[in-house]
Chains A and B, each alone.
Chain A
Amino acid sequence: MIGTNKATETLLKVENLKKYFPVKKGLVIQRHVGDVKAVDGVSFEIYPGETLGMVGESGCGKSTLGRTILRLLEPTQGKVIFEGQTLNELSREEMRKIRSQMQMIFQDPFASLNPRMRVRDIIGEPILIHGVLNRVEREKRVSKLLDVVGLSTHHGERYPHEFSGGQCQRIGIARALAVNPKLIICDEPVSALDVSIQAQVINLLEDLQAEFNLTYLLIAHDVAMVKHLSNRVAVMYLGKLVELTSSEELYLNPRHPYTIALLSAILLPYPNQKKGRIILKGDAPSPVNPPSGCRFHTRCPETQDICKVMDPELIDIGNKHFVACHLTIHTYEKIKVGNSVTNHQ
């Protein structure tokens, strides 16, 4: 759907991906009473060497999306195509092998490292699993990786608890890099870190991307950070994409009312910025029973009648700026009608 006309190679293509978690009730006999629609029909593409940002608030399904792409969670429906291979059709063993191409960086730097393993073994584990190097080469590579992420070789002999949060995240990054992946999914890579450390890790991610030609899917709630790191940004709300465009365009010309509210809610580090802030009413609805029509209509400042009944599709309003909103669809169609009229004349 998105960018299909573009013939340039895509690294990862996600097609109508859905992940529902069943809600069960009953102590002995469990009845299926509903689904948490964490990811509900998401499609996008990632091009080699770019960073695609995925922003949204907690519960919007962005982390589930990342895990479903990697098949750490089995999708309910839809396809994930990585370099032309449909991941969902692969056997467990084939999938296991292809994992070296796609790695992940986790949010909690402490919890994602096995406390009983030395750092050297943690970083070396992917190499060992994929059996690409012998022992001596592996040791060498681990030392190199430690150096690449800004740690020293002697750090390899220690255990994770001896490191600070920022250093642990560096270890996690080194592990992700160990088998030369093409795609790295970064799930809130800096949100658990202190401000001054965040900047260090962000810079590291940028440097590594340039050095190893990496492609990132960056999942985060911090719009300023996502905008800084990404070439394109997708905005997610209750399991669906509502807007997808380049990060410059998203900032300068946001079209979806949710994106606009999200951008205006960002607190900037300078005073007297209150003017024009859009404060959304209420909380995000539950993904078990998402609102009918457009999922945002319950909080949208510009709700129309159509929003309550019809779910807007994500369409290109020009220049690969995708928006899922009836308002923009109408304006877009008006423009189209206007154009065709002028063409006829």
Chain B
Amino acid sequence: MGRDLLIHVKDLRTYFYTDVGVVKAVDGVNLEIGIGETLGIVGESGSGKSITAMSMMRLIPQPPGRIEGGEVLFYGKDLLKLSEKEMMKIRGNEIAMIFQDPMTSLNPVLTVGEQMIETIVLHQKVSRSMAKRRAIEMLERVGIPEAKGRVNNYPHLFSGGMRQRVMIAMALSCNPKLLIADEPTTALDVTIQAQILDLMNNLQQELGTAIMLITHNLGVIAELCQKVLVMYAGNTVEYTDVNTLFAKPMHPYTYGMLESSPKLELRKQRLDPIEGHPPDPYRLPQGCNFAQRCRRIMPVCEREKPTLLEIEPGHFVSCFLYERVKI
């Protein structure tokens, strides 16, 4: 814990109150990102990975959502306690975000330049001409050819991959300390995905921006992240560094995820899927959320919820299999 923490999320809980019940979308998530680090959050749809990010940015629509508890410490100050006005200064400036579909997060009636300039002027208090120079510089940096001309183009004139580059340029234009990337390459083709990941890797090394990457794709995690948090049905199930996770996955869910994806290099053999499907978010089981799909289920798993424990140095797992070992 000797390193400088950029963001420290403690016991974050975000619930959604709908007319048919309560969804505990995020139920006690802890995470930390050091300066310049990359954390990956991996999970399937409904695991709460995006809601975690939205909660950190305080972008949960309220109602029906509500952040029920926890702290989001950014340089030691709790973002959840800030006024909306103070939060506005953080968003886009200190913490920036990019999304899966760049088209919906770009305003179609403004040129790319106008949108970038607006953000830069707002946060950096510089003149518009300065801001424009900065915008062009950023576009060049993310590999947009002829950035001087293209800065005056509307978003629809860019292809999917180029749009994601524009989003990255926009997000990084104010030198944020943390970039939250929510499925940044999911909508892109494989060859374009490779380009974007390559770009993010390079930029991270150049600028030293910390990245929190949200994805369902373990390959993307392996490519870009140092630390990984695996989420399942609103809970953290495993949290460790990337090499350990792939070499020695401890939680049966992580293990199952890794086993169930087709391997390119192996000869054809039958996949070993995780049976069943995720629990109904309105009727989460009393015990471990993964219990009903788990191959190594024990009686205790159906009664109690496991807690996230440091099983090995730097390797946190939320599973009774290891709690027992520890005791």
Chain A residues proximal to chain B, CB less than 8 Å: 57-58, 164, 166-167, 194-200, 202-203, 206, 221, 223-225, 227-229, 247-248, 251, 261-274, 277, 279-280, 283-284
Please state if A261 and B216 are interface contacts (CB–CB under 8 Å): no
Chain B residues proximal to chain A, CB less than 8 Å: 44-45, 159-162, 189-195, 197-198, 216-223, 242-243, 246, 256-258, 260-265, 267-268, 270-275, 277-278, 293
> With A and B bound together, what is the CA distance between A266 and B258 in angstroms?
15
Classify the secondary structure of B's interface with A.
helix
With beta carbons under 8 angstroms apart, the residue of A58, A262, A267 that contacts B222 is A267
Please state if B44 and A194 are interface contacts (CB–CB under 8 Å): yes
> With A and B bound together, what is the CA distance between A198 and B217 in angstroms?
12
Return the chain A residue nearest B161 by Cβ.
Answer: A283
Please state if A202 and B271 are interface contacts (CB–CB under 8 Å): yes
> With A and B bound together, what is the CA distance between A263 and B192 in angstroms?
13
Given A224-B263, A269-B222, 10 new contacts (CB under 8 A): A195-B44, A198-B260, A198-B261, A198-B273, A202-B273, A229-B262, A264-B194, A265-B190, A265-B194, A283-B161
Contacts of A57 in B (CB 8 A): 189-192
> With A and B bound together, what is the CA distance between A284 and B188 in angstroms?
12
Please state if B44 and A270 are interface contacts (CB–CB under 8 Å): no
Given A194-B45, A196-B273, the answer on whether A262 and B260 have CB atoms closer than 8 Å is no
> With A and B bound together, what is the CA distance between A283 and B189 in angstroms?
9
Return the chain B residue nearest A265 by Cβ.
Answer: B194
23 intermolecular pairs with C-beta atoms under 8 Å apart: A166-B277, A195-B217, A195-B261, A198-B273, A199-B261, A199-B271, A199-B273, A199-B274, A202-B273, A223-B190, A225-B262, A227-B262, A229-B262, A248-B267, A266-B190, A267-B193, A267-B220, A267-B222, A269-B246, A270-B222, A271-B242, A274-B223, A284-B189
Return the chain B residue nearest A164 by Cβ.
Answer: B277
Return the chain A residue nearest B216 by Cβ.
Answer: A195
Please state if A273 and B223 are interface contacts (CB–CB under 8 Å): yes
A242 to chain B, nearest CB (A): 13
The 7 A-B residue pairs with the shortest CB-CB distance in the complex, in nearest-first order: A267-B219, A199-B273, A199-B260, A228-B262, A57-B189, A269-B218, A265-B194
> With A and B bound together, what is the CA distance between A273 and B162 in angstroms?
25
> With A and B bound together, what is the CA distance between A269 and B40 in angstroms?
13
Please state if B191 and A196 are interface contacts (CB–CB under 8 Å): no
> With A and B bound together, what is the CA distance between A266 and B209 in angstroms?
25
A299 to chain B, nearest CB (A): 8
Contacts of A167 in B (CB 8 A): 277
Contacts of A274 in B (CB 8 A): 223
With beta carbons under 8 angstroms apart, the residue of A247, A261, A283 that contacts B162 is A283
Please state if A199 and B272 are interface contacts (CB–CB under 8 Å): yes
Please state if A224 and B261 are interface contacts (CB–CB under 8 Å): yes
Return the chain B residue nearest A283 by Cβ.
Answer: B159
> With A and B bound together, what is the CA distance between A229 and B268 in angstroms?
8
Contacts of A225 in B (CB 8 A): 262
Return the chain A residue nearest B232 by Cβ.
Answer: A196
Contacts of B220 in A (CB 8 A): 267
A52 to chain B, nearest CB (A): 15
Please state if A266 and B264 are interface contacts (CB–CB under 8 Å): yes
Contacts of B268 in A (CB 8 A): 228, 247
Please state if B194 and A224 are interface contacts (CB–CB under 8 Å): no
Contacts of A277 in B (CB 8 A): 194, 198
Please state if B189 and A224 are interface contacts (CB–CB under 8 Å): no
Please state if A262 and B246 are interface contacts (CB–CB under 8 Å): no
> With A and B bound together, what is the CA distance between A151 and B273 in angstroms?
17
Return the chain B residue nearest A258 by Cβ.
Answer: B191
Return the chain A residue nearest B247 by Cβ.
Answer: A270
Contacts of B45 in A (CB 8 A): 194
Contacts of A228 in B (CB 8 A): 262-263, 268, 271
